[in-house]
């Protein structure tokens, strides 16, 4: 594992960019996503779920509201604090753990683990990405489920845009996107301009792009007994009409 601190470990980044990434629309879709997770994995009240990379608790809280026993793991303390506050507002209980998914291990085993809203593929190396998946696999009970929703190489091509601008959370947001290598990654540049002060900040990062079949092979190699790739949470085909990539794997 790289010893150099990577951008997603920077709490200041999430404090500034979190409100842009997790806007009202993302929060509004959370109940439906949580219900889909429970349906896909056949979960019942009291089932133990690991939200790997839980962020501000968008999905964790909704799963808890459905009666699940939820453990959220994230590397950023301010995100965990936000998840705790939301859970308290909704009067539900979450177990929250500050940990790096590249080294995370749990004595508790889960019925289901999720990694949602394009939270995968940001590490410097493929080996680090695979380590995250191995740790998630190890955290599951035999017969447990793993649900991964992520930007894939195919969906990045389908919906590629060179950039856009919009206003959100009191800021003007400008984005620029460039392809890295032979569609090996997507370089994203986000520029925020405060509408009141004019203060400008920018951040650039690369997300590694995996194809659906690449991730299926990796997960099968880790030990999952079945791995299916879908175009949404409704089991729609992963084809030219796919909205996103949803992988459903069983240990």
Asked if the model's pLDDT at residue 17 lies above 90, the reply is no
Quick one: pLDDT at residue 25?
Answer: 72
Quick one: pLDDT at residue 21?
Answer: 73
Mean pLDDT of the chain: 92
Asked if the model's pLDDT at residue 46 lies above 60, the reply is yes
Binned at pLDDT 50, 70 and 90, residue 168 comes out as: confident
Run of H or E including 164: strand 163-168
Q: Which of 17-21, 101-105, 225-229 has the lowest average pLDDT?
A: 17-21
**Closest by alpha carbon to 71, among 173, 139, 162, 157?**
139
Binned at pLDDT 50, 70 and 90, residue 250 comes out as: very high
| The pairing of beta strand 48-52 with beta strand 69-74 | parallel
Find out whether 127 and 212 touch, Cβ atoms under 8 Å: no
Condensed to tens digits (0 to 9), the pLDDT of residues 107-125 reads 999 999 999 988 899 999 9
Helix residue ranges per DSSP H, the chain:
11-21, 24-41, 58-65, 77-89, 126-139, 153-158, 212-222
Tokens of 177: 């996107």
Asked if the model's pLDDT at residue 2 lies above 50, the reply is no
**Closest by alpha carbon to 249, among 128, 114, 100, 56?**
114
**Residues facing residue 51 across a β-bridge:** 72, 114
Asked if the model's pLDDT at residue 16 lies above 90, the reply is no
**Closest by alpha carbon to 231, among 218, 220, 246, 219?**
246
Tell me the mean pLDDT in the region 141-160.
97
**Residue 176 φ then ψ, to 5°:** -135, 135
Name the percent of the chain lying above pLDDT 70: 94
Size (the chain), residues: 251
The CA-atom distances, in angstroms, between 249 and each of 103, 134, 140, 222, 229 are 21, 13, 11, 11, 9
Condensed to tens digits (0 to 9), the pLDDT of residues 169-226 reads 888 999 999 999 999 999 999 999 999 999 998 988 899 999 999 999 999 999 999 9
Quick one: pLDDT at residue 1?
Answer: 45
Asked if the model's pLDDT at residue 106 lies above 60, the reply is yes
**Residue 118 φ then ψ, to 5°:** 50, 60
């Amino acid at each position: 594992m790289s010893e150099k601190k990577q951008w997603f470990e920077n709490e200041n980044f999430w404090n500034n960019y979190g409100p842009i990434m997790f806007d009202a629309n993302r929060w509004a879709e959370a109940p439906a996503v949580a219900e889909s997770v429970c349906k896909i994995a056949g979960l019942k009240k009291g089932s133990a779920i690991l939200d790997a990379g839980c962020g501000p608790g968008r999905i964790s809280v909704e799963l808890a509201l459905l009666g699940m026993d939820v453990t959220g793991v994230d590397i950023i303390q301010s995100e965990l604090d936000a998840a705790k506050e939301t859970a308290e507002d909704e009067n539900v209980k979450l177990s929250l753990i500050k940990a790096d998914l590249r080294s995370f291990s749990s004595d508790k085993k889960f019925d289901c683990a999720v990694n949602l809203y394009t939270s995968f593929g940001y590490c410097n190396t493929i080996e680090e990405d695979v380590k995250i998946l191995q740790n998630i696999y190890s955290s599951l009970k035999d017969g447990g489920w793993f649900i991964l929703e992520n930007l894939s190489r195919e969906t990045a091509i389908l919906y590629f845009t060179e950039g856009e601008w919009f206003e959100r959370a009191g800021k003007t947001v400008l984005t620029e996107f460039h392809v890295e290598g032979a569609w090996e990654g997507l370089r994203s540049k986000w520029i925020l301009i405060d509408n009141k002060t004019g203060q400008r900040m920018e951040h650039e990062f690369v997300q590694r792009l995996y194809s659906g079949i690449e991730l299926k092979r990796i997960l099968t190699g880790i030990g999952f007994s079945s791995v299916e790739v879908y175009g949404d949470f409704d089991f729609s085909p992963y084809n030219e009409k796919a909205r996103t990539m949803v992988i459903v794997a069983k240990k």
